[in-house]
Homo-oligomer: A and B are copies of this chain.
Amino acid sequence: MVSSVWTRERPRAGLSQDRIVAAAVELLDADGLEALSMRTLAARLDTKATSLYRHVANKDELIELVVDEVYGEMEVVASGPWRSSVADAARSLRAMVLRHPWVASVLGQVGLAELGPNLSDRSARLLALFTDGGFPGEEADLAMKTVLGYVVGMTVSEAAYVQLLARTGQDEEELTAHGVTSKALRDKTFEYGLERVLKGLGD
């Protein structure tokens, strides 16, 4: 059969790891972690589940890829004094997790243990912020881990809460009225802690 532009219809164009990972992120953002099955993911790419295994070893590897993919959204740039650069990076990481709350659910499983290219790149750049800021060799690493720890911990709790919102279908206003933390308060809480942590790291 002649392979015209029309026979190879639009959204197929051949499976690839990139396309699979991108579709997985979409699905996770839309429906959460438990909605991600190899079959539903395949359907979205209109294929069958077993085809995915040509490009991805198994579901666990897929999840690692997906996590590293969203780590790519974390921005860490040197601009001005180390404190403000680090604070911006911290805010960017938090924003990423809140955009993709399912990340919180898998962080404990993948953790920062196996590092994909995006994560290791961001770690290196963050580390550089500290060394450039005057932290002596080994201490830069400790300082970096301290703020990463703070941001991850704080944000995991937030994301779990956001997912709870989504699951129960309530919107935030409603729960806020019942005394649960609001977005504005969570922002303030995060900023408070961040400021203190950074202050503690300064000599």
Query: Is the Cβ of B192 less than 8 Å from the Cβ of A142?
Result: yes
CB < 8 Å neighbour of A200 from B153, B188, B198: B198
Does A113 interact with chain B (Cβ within 8 Å)? yes
A37 at the interface (CB under 8 A from B): no
Alpha-carbon gap, A109 to B109, bound state (A): 12
Is there an interface contact between A108 and B111, defined as CB atoms closer than 8 Å?
Answer: no
Using an 8 Å CB-CB cutoff, how does the interface string of A158-175 with B read, 1 for contact, 0 for none? 011101100000000000
Contact B104 A142 (CB under 8 A): no
Instruction: Please report which residues of chain A, range 98-147, place their CB below 8 angstroms from some CB of chain B when the two chains form the complex.
Output: 103-114, 142-143, 145-146
Question: What number of copies of this chain does the assembly contain?
Answer: 2
With a CB–CB cut-off of 8 A, which chain B residues contact A150?
Answer: 146, 149-150, 153, 193, 197
CA distance in complex: A11, B106 (Å): 36
A interface residues, tally (CB under 8 Å): 42
A152 at interface by CB-CB < 8 Å: yes
CB of B108 within 8 A of CB of A156, answer yes
Q: Does A65 contact B (CB under 8 A)?
A: no
Is A105 in contact with B112, judged by CB distance below 8 angstroms? no
Q: Which residues of the other chain, B, contact A112 by a CB distance below 8 angstroms?
A: 157, 160-161
What is the CB-to-nearest-CB distance from A160 to chain B, in angstroms, rounded to a whole number?
2
**A155 contacts across to B, CB distance below 8 A:** 153
Known: A152-B157, A153-B151, A156-B152. A146 touches B196 (CB 8 A): yes
Docked CA distance A155–B142 (Å): 14
Q: A108-B108, A199-B200, A200-B198 are in contact. Are A154 and B145 (CB under 8 A)?
A: yes
